[in-house]
Amino acid sequence: MTTRIFLLSPAHCGGERAQIVLRDRAEFDLARRLRTREGAPLGEVFSFMSGLYFRGKLAYARCFAQTTTALGGVRVITPCQGLQSPDLRVGRALIRRYARVDIDPADARYRRPLLRDARALVDRLADVSAWEVVLLGSVASGKYVEPLIEVFGERLVFPPDFIGRGDMSRGGLLLRCVSEGRELSYAPLLNASRRGRRPARLVPQRGILARTEHWLRSGGEQLTSQAGPLRGA
């Protein structure tokens, strides 16, 4: 079996939803937890700020990651802290720090920690005979592809089904895959064609988001079609 680790591109930490959750007077649960010493999980915070897209990436990665428990199968690309677990507890100060750094390979604040952690991951995989790293993020630009290929080479792969899709379409596709227990196929990013025609629009389905959240809450038990209906994907 191939050890498979997923790298998730980050949410935009300087956008409108980030400003909402960071407001001093915000009283919803996530905003309150971000103001405490314990903070909130990075994956939950990015899911709020990015919405459907990051939620789909995180659910998909947790569903299909194949690795040892000690290694962990999901890592989030951050603006200035390299690769982090989605379970990392973060607070408002760190999110604001993220917002001040551009996702740009020319910016050492982004590139150096990312390369450091990517190389450390390769070292930890040295004794694994078959492994690959799946990028769930934009491949049209070089902001993730360029530094990651430098480290992972042909072992860096992506879902070709992402080509031509916007963020919301990718998120909806990933949620469908989790709901159906269907993993996408992957292809090496090295020398790959990363642009193409926009695919057909996804047919709206009810209940996908509810079934996915039920799956996450149940710790990965088999999804069933009996989950309650909810608009969302």
Q: Please name the residue ranges forming H helices in the chain.
A: 16-22, 29-34, 42-50, 52-64, 92-99, 108-124, 142-152, 167-180, 208-217
Query: Strand pairing of 74-77 and 40-41?
Result: unpaired
Cβ contacts of 154 within 8 Å, gap of 6 or more: 188, 190
Q: Per residue in 75-90, pLDDT tens?
A: 999 999 999 999 999 9
If you write DSSP's letter for every residue of 62-95 in order, what string do you get?
HHH-BS-TTT-SEEEE-SSS-EE-TT-EE-HHHH
Distance of CA 168 to the CA centre of its chain: 13
Do the Cβ atoms of 78 and 98 come closer than 8 Å?
A: yes
Residue 206 has a pLDDT of 57
Instruction: Give, to the nearest 10 degrees, the angle between helix 52-64 and helix 208-217.
Output: 50
Q: Is the pLDDT confidence value at 232 over 50? A: no
Q: Per residue in 194-220, pLDDT tens?
A: 565 665 555 555 554 555 554 445 544
Q: Is the pLDDT confidence value at 132 over 90? A: yes
Output the CA torsion sign for 66, 190, 192, 102: positive
Radius of gyration of the chain (CA): 17
Cβ contacts of 114 within 8 Å, gap of 6 or more: 77, 82, 83, 147, 148
> Whose CA is closest to 97, among 113, 83, 109?
109
Name the pTM for this structure: 0.84
Cβ contacts of 55 within 8 Å, gap of 6 or more: 47, 171, 175, 209, 212
pLDDT over 90, % of the chain: 64
Q: Per residue in 140-162, pLDDT tens?
A: 889 999 999 999 999 999 999 98
Residue 11 has a pLDDT of 94
The two tokens of residue 203 are: 């047919």
Residue 147 has a pLDDT of 96
Q: Is the pLDDT confidence value at 190 over 50? A: yes
Q: Is the pLDDT confidence value at 94 over 70? A: yes
Question: Among all chains, which residue has been given the structure tokens 């507890």?
Answer: 89
If you write DSSP's letter for every residue of 142-163 in order, what string do you get?
HHHHHHHHHHHGGGEEE-GGGT
Residue 204 has a pLDDT of 56
Amino acid identity of 227? A
Distance between CA atoms of residues 67 and 7, nearest Å: 13
Where is average pLDDT lowest: 29-33, 63-67, 84-88? 63-67
Distance between CA atoms of residues 117 and 82, nearest Å: 6
- When pLDDT is averaged across residues 102-117 and rounded to a whole number, the result is 97
Residue 158 has a pLDDT of 95
